[in-house]
Amino acid sequence: MVTILTHLDADGICSGSLIKMTKKYKNARVFFTHPAGLAKDLKGINDDLLICDIAIDIKSYHKTYALLEKISQEHEIYYFDHHHLPEALPEKVINIHNESISATEIVYRYFYHALPSYADHIALLGAICDYLDNSPLMKELLHHYERRTLFLDAGLLAEGLKKFSHGPNYDDLRKIVQRLSQGEYPCEIRELTRAALSSTRRDKLQRKNILENYEKRLNFAYIMDPDAGSRSKVAHWIMGHSGTLLGIVIIQLRSKPDMVDLTIRGRQLIDLRTIIPEIAQSIGGNAGGHSNAIGCRIPKNKLNRFLTILDEKLSQLHIPKPFRIAELIQFD
């Protein structure tokens, strides 16, 4: 047997779908995981393994390493990822890694000669949904389609997947992976389009409330436990509305009441990986992600300390302030 372990977002779903387009892996089993849960999900696996779009969690690195090393003694392991790698993977793990492109593009490149012609559509959707469609390859593939229809399908996929990102819906999510691998577009999957339309309608109602209730410091805006489904989306909303460098969504964890999760989004004015992980680790937390989109988990009682240090650090970097709308609408 072969197992695919992939992320629950569009980049992970598209990566898994591309793998299942190949003759070799069309019958592979698909399971869904995330960085903090990877070590747990690796336990008991006794198959050839393909892992897609899963960052290595620093705190569980040694446990993850040991499990990968054990599995790789008898089985083939491929690791397709674009997150920062804190330390090396076991020698026998085939690590296909590139931090400048989406996981979907990594998989597409690797399996290109084994993929059907329609695979380029899925490759584009994964890259668009992860804001990484500006690579030379993706820019060229965009010319093979019409941008507006691609972005329609990407939006339906990203929005619709939110309904299926919880355990009780994983079987439905596997069916979506299967249907995408067979060449269907998101707009053809009724359950996905219905969920996407419902999510977008909720956004319209929630956004007004979010923009009336966030807090602002000198360099970023933040909100705790917002009544909205997408943390990333909320972070973008408040960053733009506040005119600050970053948007931060803070979630109090029911399962770990002494910890909080932070979703941080920026304007591509600074590589967040150069400042966020260091601050998080200095107060007993951890962080990981991309240059413009990062998440971290820190002790709840250190939250104010984290925000203060971050604000001071951003001020010290003297990053140019974002333009105001009033400045941009002026005619020359």
Q: At residue 260, does pLDDT exceed 80? A: yes
Q: Closest by alpha carbon to 310, among 280, 267, 271, 289?
A: 280
On whether the CB atoms of residues 5 and 51 are closer than 8 A, the answer is yes
Q: What angle do CA 14, 8, 83 make, to 5 degrees?
A: 80
Contacts of 251 (CB under 8 A, 6+ apart): 224, 225, 231, 260, 261, 262, 263
Share of the chain above pLDDT 70, in %: 99
Relative orientation angle of helices 103-110 and 10-21, to the nearest 10 degrees:
10
Q: Does domain 213-325 have CATH number 1.10.10.60?
A: no
CATH 3.10.310.40 domain extents, the chain: 213-325
Q: At residue 290, does pLDDT exceed 90? A: no
Q: At residue 22, does pLDDT exceed 90? A: yes
β strands within 177-232, DSSP E: 215-216, 220-224
On whether the CB atoms of residues 58 and 9 are closer than 8 A, the answer is no
Q: At residue 228, does pLDDT exceed 80? A: no
CATH number of 2-193: 3.90.1640
Give the whole-angstrom CA distance, residue 291 versus residue 266.
9
pLDDT single digits (tens) 35-86: 888 999 999 899 999 999 999 988 889 999 999 999 999 999 999 999 988 8
Q: At residue 166, does pLDDT exceed 80? A: no
On whether the CB atoms of residues 223 and 207 are closer than 8 A, the answer is no
CATH 3.90.1640 domain extents, the chain: 2-193
Q: Could you identify the residue written with the tokens 């997947």?
A: 161
Give the whole-angstrom CA distance, residue 141 versus residue 118.
11
Instruction: Label the pairing between strands 77-81 and 94-97.
Output: parallel
Q: At residue 332, does pLDDT exceed 70? A: no
Question: Across residues 248-267, what is the average pLDDT?
Answer: 94
The pLDDT-based confidence of 164 (bands split at 50, 70, 90) is: confident
Q: Closest by alpha carbon to 6, among 133, 138, 161, 195?
A: 161
On whether the CB atoms of residues 86 and 56 are closer than 8 A, the answer is yes
pLDDT single digits (tens) 184-227: 999 999 999 999 999 999 999 899 999 999 999 999 999 999 98
pTM for this entry: 0.89
